[in-house]
Amino acid sequence: MKKIAFKMKLKPGKREEYKKRHAAIWPELAALLKESGISDYTIFLDEETNILFAVQRLSGNSSQDLGGEELVQRWWKYMSDIMETNEDYSPVSIPLTSMFHLD
């Protein structure tokens, strides 16, 4: 199992809306993530910078690249008013490099 991390950016003043939308994540989206081998997915917020820090585990040969899925594209568009996004509504996402790990 592989662990990856990345960061995204929340628009100012959108903390509560972000939490609200994720508390009610679409069941079919959660199922797609799990079926795609994504698990233990956690997103943290640095409230000083509005940076979202995400960590997820990928099993086997799974890929986090689900951008071609219509459901994922709908979620991106739904979230685009509260996050920094690219032209296709995907969140601006910057991969992070693992520097240390302790089990």
Take residue 67 and report the two structure tokens written for it.
């951008």
3-class DSSP assignment, residue 84: coil
- Which of these is catalytic: 2, 3, 19, 22? 22
Rounded CA separation 38/58 (Å): 5
Residue 22 annotated as catalytic: yes
CA triple 18-23-26, angle to 5 deg: 100
Residues marked active site are found at 22
